[in-house]
Amino acid sequence: MRVGLFFGTFNPLHNAHLGICNKLLEKKIIDEVWLVLTPHSPYKKSDDLVDAYIRLDMINEAIAKLQNIKVSDIEFGMEKPNYTYLTLKEVKKKFPDNEYMIIMGEDNFLNFDKWKNNKFIKSNFQIISYPRSKKSVNNIFDHYFDLSSSTIRDLVKRKSDISSLVPDEIYLYIKEKGLYR
């Protein structure tokens, strides 16, 4: 099975994340997407990072009815700081029969040479990069994804409506639990 590994803190998961997953599934580039939830990224500030188990719960609610999109908590039990190459080794060890591809934004891809053990990643995994700007639209993605979790958090802080930007389940979860205020 061809599995797309989409790494992120998903703080929170939003419609662009799911749009990327759905596009890759529709075009049959991959058979399944695993949202690899990162409890804490070594490259990001954690000031407004919601607890990893709350994010896991939100994602599970949002994808419960979706086919071929799963969430992985494989990084929860790994030492901190954790780097992508270590997770990839662990995934290959636990699930050796799959073919894995990494899904990442153009912004991350442009900084990929700074990633720890990037040569190992590049030589063992195909990378699928989705566009973050109009000039990078390609034959897989016919538009770019100009939405980020930080934008969602900022909108919530300003008491703006995010209902069209996140799955209904996440919108209700954020509202009910008072997250990102």
Whether pLDDT at 149 is above 90: yes
Half-sphere exposure (Cβ direction) of 64: Cα atoms closer than 13 Å:
10
CATH assignment at residue 101: 3.40.50.620
Task: Provide the number of structural domains found in the chain.
Answer: 1
Query: pLDDT tens, 102-121?
Result: 999 888 888 888 888 999 99
pLDDT band at 146 (very low <50, low <70, confident <90, very high): confident
Cβ neighbours of 119 (radius 10 Å) = 10
Q: What pLDDT score does 130 carry? A: 81
- With b for 16 or more beta-carbon neighbours within 10 A and e for fewer, the 159-179 pattern comes to eeebeebbbebbbebbeeeeb
Supply the DSSP symbol for 163.
T
- Summarize the confidence of residues 163-176 as an average pLDDT: 98
Domain containing 171: what range? 2-177
- Summarize the confidence of residues 155-167 as an average pLDDT: 98
d(CA 26, CA 14): 19
Q: What pLDDT score does 143 carry? A: 60
